[in-house]
Chains A and B, each alone.
Chain A
């Protein structure tokens, strides 16, 4: 029973992180229907920028964290401007392959600078944040990550519901020509959604890096694990991303704990095929109805 509860807690926390990582992904998809294969690399970039700021430049956390996020924000903006904007209106496969190419370039650059080694952040979280509850042990990193995740989730909810930019984004996602004709600056919306998505990706990269250490290959493979998560939650639902993340996280830890550790990495994808066959638009995704 203790084992079960520990697994449950681990699964929840890992799942929450997946959800966090998936949020930025859904953001881009929602605004511009682009599947971003460079998501894992954006996460890794965020983590490395944070690493440089905190351990090599020696900045305090409260300064390094926002700075790293601002860096990601600008990066997302630049990426959209340079690479994605020329492709507005082009067939899907080009856009997807462009993000694959970008992923490759980012990965190469990171391997070039930092190599394939595992780095760790210096320990900056106070140990007092840890939660001990009976036999259950939640390390401070998880507590902080869940807190950050909840804050971001709330901010996004409010952003999409009340801010004008958020409403523009929703309108573009819903019907691009209609949004254009009503005077929404679609290109600005795309740029902003990429910038915000890169910011969220960087944030989740930093959080994941705090837990597992930072390694280019690990973080980019988590970027692929985002796919089962978003498919389960529904490609265009931010809340669904978090719930999908938790389900996938639980599935993974329980498979790893009870069945076999090697099955752990492939189970999300098996689940993915199953979900696609049964409920193609996920739990909370918008069902696309085709009309001729």
Chain B
């Protein structure tokens, strides 16, 4: 058996493989295992239905946020259409499940693939554009998809919405919050592992090369258009899977939630979590979902105070202000996001008590 690795006092890596490991220390690996055991054995039984709902939403949004992080944080392409891709995934799953009668296990990945195709289509402007211009092109994509979702009534039933069948895997009905918790978190873990490992392959390195300097990347023989499109496809695949899970969880879906606000929310998650950090996206999703729920709770309390409710205080403005303030404060104070905050906290413990 090899020697266990704990916190080293410095960088003692001798081979590139050591640089690429997911876990720097065996302590991290062990704590992940413990964390997973707690996640699957304790949390679903210890938490009430409301907390389970929140945790499920965290898992779904985290999947989509990881996808966006691959696009923004690793490939450097800022997309404002992620919310629409999420909606495409939701609708693809809904249509496949109702009209085509796909089972859950088949509908979710197919929805992901369909969304990946749509995402590649809307990534095509990156053929000639980059930077700001590409961002604006994805903004247009957001509006066009939103319009199609509402007005292509033959396919999406327009504003009527679609009602999905309950989730069943191999004839086993799984429609409680708790069983969805398992589905969502298994998906999240698989998708996280895929993303983390993708970034360790040559594809991931090509993405990073494009992000850092696309001309240099091209000079090094990376066909940047196809890699950019690949990044769009992977990112929208994640959004599609998340959207499909969301559609199954919500049971009935309408076109309303998939607006520009949702796209912005995802970008906020990626930034707050930490650009270019897969785990950071999960923190970001946790933060934004937590913020939304916390504000809902706060508004509930404020509403019960007679004087304030008579002033006509509503949820929307408070939410907008808190959300905007979170983005602005993170960008100004900790641009590298929660992942960096966590790293700083951890490194403070590394050599404790002699931290010099």
| Cβ < 8 Å to A, chain B residues 323-341 | 323-328, 331-332, 335
Interface mask (A6-24 → B, CB under 8 Å = 1, otherwise 0)? 0000000000000000000
| Cβ < 8 Å to B, chain A residues 189-231 | 224, 227-228, 231
Known: A87-B331, A235-B132, A262-B151. 18 other contacts (CB 8 A): A35-B135, A83-B332, A92-B131, A100-B264, A101-B324, A101-B328, A109-B317, A111-B316, A112-B313, A112-B318, A228-B140, A266-B143, A269-B139, A269-B140, A269-B144, A270-B140, A272-B140, A277-B127
B interface, by DSSP: helix, strand, loop or mixed?
helix
| Complexed CA–CA distance, A77 and B215 (Å) | 36
Does B72 sit at the interface, judged by CB under 8 A?
yes
Q: Assuming the A-B contacts A86-B332, A111-B320, A276-B136, are A105 and B143 also in contact, with contact meaning beta carbons closer than 8 angstroms in the complex? A: no
A101:B144 contact, CB within 8 angstroms: no
A93:B271 contact, CB within 8 angstroms: yes
With a cutoff of 8 Å between Cβ atoms, the chain B residues found around residue A272 in the complex are 136-137, 140
Does B133 sit at the interface, judged by CB under 8 A?
yes
Q: Assuming the A-B contacts A104-B320, A105-B328, are A266 and B144 also in contact, with contact meaning beta carbons closer than 8 angstroms in the complex? A: yes
Does A290 sit at the interface, judged by CB under 8 A?
yes
A92:B321 contact, CB within 8 angstroms: no
Pull 5 A–B residue pairs with CB atoms less than 8 Å apart, ordered by A: A94-B331, A100-B324, A109-B321, A273-B125, A277-B127
Does A280 sit at the interface, judged by CB under 8 A?
yes
Instruction: Name A221's closest neighbour in chain B (CB-CB).
Output: B260
With a cutoff of 8 Å between Cβ atoms, the chain B residues found around residue A262 in the complex are 147, 150-151
With a cutoff of 8 Å between Cβ atoms, the chain A residues found around residue B78 in the complex are 92-93, 96
With a cutoff of 8 Å between Cβ atoms, the chain B residues found around residue A87 in the complex are 331-332
Does A90 sit at the interface, judged by CB under 8 A?
yes
B327:A104 contact, CB within 8 angstroms: yes
| Cβ < 8 Å to B, chain A residues 92-120 | 92-94, 96-98, 100-112, 115-116
Does B128 sit at the interface, judged by CB under 8 A?
yes
Interface mask (A73-94 → B, CB under 8 Å = 1, otherwise 0)? 0000000000100110010111
Q: Assuming the A-B contacts A273-B144, A292-B215, are A104 and B139 also in contact, with contact meaning beta carbons closer than 8 angstroms in the complex? A: no
Q: Assuming the A-B contacts A86-B332, A270-B140, are A292 and B219 also in contact, with contact meaning beta carbons closer than 8 angstroms in the complex? A: yes
| Complexed CA–CA distance, A157 and B350 (Å) | 60
With a cutoff of 8 Å between Cβ atoms, the chain B residues found around residue A101 in the complex are 268, 323-328, 331
With a cutoff of 8 Å between Cβ atoms, the chain A residues found around residue B268 in the complex are 97, 100-101
B144:A104 contact, CB within 8 angstroms: no
Instruction: Name A83's closest neighbour in chain B (CB-CB).
Output: B328
Interface mask (B118-156 → A, CB under 8 Å = 1, otherwise 0)? 000000110111011101110111011011001100000
B324:A102 contact, CB within 8 angstroms: yes
With a cutoff of 8 Å between Cβ atoms, the chain B residues found around residue A103 in the complex are 324
| Complexed CA–CA distance, A273 and B319 (Å) | 32
With a cutoff of 8 Å between Cβ atoms, the chain B residues found around residue A83 in the complex are 328, 332
Interface mask (B248-284 → A, CB under 8 Å = 1, otherwise 0)? 0000000000001000100110010001000000000
Instruction: Please give the residue numbers on chain B whose beta carbons come within 8 Å of chain A beta carbons, in ascending order.
Output: 72, 78, 124-125, 127-129, 131-133, 135-137, 139-141, 143-144, 146-147, 150-151, 215, 219, 260, 264, 267-268, 271, 275, 312-314, 316-328, 331-332, 335
Instruction: Please give the residue numbers on chain A whose beta carbons come within 8 Å of chain B beta carbons, in ascending order.
Output: 33, 35, 83, 86-87, 90, 92-94, 96-98, 100-112, 115-116, 224, 227-228, 231, 235, 262-263, 265-266, 269-270, 272-273, 276-277, 280, 290, 292
| Complexed CA–CA distance, A231 and B325 (Å) | 29
| Complexed CA–CA distance, A102 and B329 (Å) | 10
Closest 6 CB pairs of A and B: A104-B324, A108-B320, A101-B327, A108-B321, A105-B324, A111-B317
With a cutoff of 8 Å between Cβ atoms, the chain A residues found around residue B124 in the complex are 277
Instruction: Name B136's closest neighbour in chain A (CB-CB).
Output: A227
With a cutoff of 8 Å between Cβ atoms, the chain B residues found around residue A265 in the complex are 143, 147
With a cutoff of 8 Å between Cβ atoms, the chain A residues found around residue B125 in the complex are 273, 276-277
B147:A266 contact, CB within 8 angstroms: yes
| Complexed CA–CA distance, A103 and B288 (Å) | 17
Instruction: Name B122's closest neighbour in chain A (CB-CB).
Output: A273
Distance in Å from the Cβ of A126 to the closest Cβ of chain B? Answer: 36
Q: Assuming the A-B contacts A35-B132, A269-B140, are A224 and B260 also in contact, with contact meaning beta carbons closer than 8 angstroms in the complex? A: yes
Q: Assuming the A-B contacts A83-B328, A103-B324, are A97 and B271 also in contact, with contact meaning beta carbons closer than 8 angstroms in the complex? A: yes
With a cutoff of 8 Å between Cβ atoms, the chain A residues found around residue B326 in the complex are 101
Select A90's contact among B260, B322, B325, B335, beta carbons within 8 Å. Answer: B335
Distance in Å from the Cβ of A178 to the closest Cβ of chain B? Answer: 21
Q: Assuming the A-B contacts A273-B125, A292-B215, are A105 and B320 also in contact, with contact meaning beta carbons closer than 8 angstroms in the complex? A: yes
A97:B260 contact, CB within 8 angstroms: no
Q: Assuming the A-B contacts A262-B151, A280-B129, are A93 and B327 also in contact, with contact meaning beta carbons closer than 8 angstroms in the complex? A: no
| Complexed CA–CA distance, A11 and B260 (Å) | 26
A97:B128 contact, CB within 8 angstroms: no
With a cutoff of 8 Å between Cβ atoms, the chain B residues found around residue A93 in the complex are 72, 78, 271, 275
B328:A102 contact, CB within 8 angstroms: yes
With a cutoff of 8 Å between Cβ atoms, the chain A residues found around residue B144 in the complex are 266, 269-270, 273
Chain A CB count within 10 A is highest, among B78, B135, B314, B317, for B317
| Complexed CA–CA distance, A277 and B137 (Å) | 9
A96:B135 contact, CB within 8 angstroms: yes
B321:A100 contact, CB within 8 angstroms: no
Distance in Å from the Cβ of B37 to the closest Cβ of chain A? Answer: 37
B139:A100 contact, CB within 8 angstroms: no
Distance in Å from the Cβ of A83 to the closest Cβ of chain B? Answer: 6
Chain A CB count within 10 A is highest, among B78, B260, B324, B332, for B324
B132:A92 contact, CB within 8 angstroms: yes
B133:A97 contact, CB within 8 angstroms: no
A97:B316 contact, CB within 8 angstroms: no
| Complexed CA–CA distance, A224 and B140 (Å) | 10
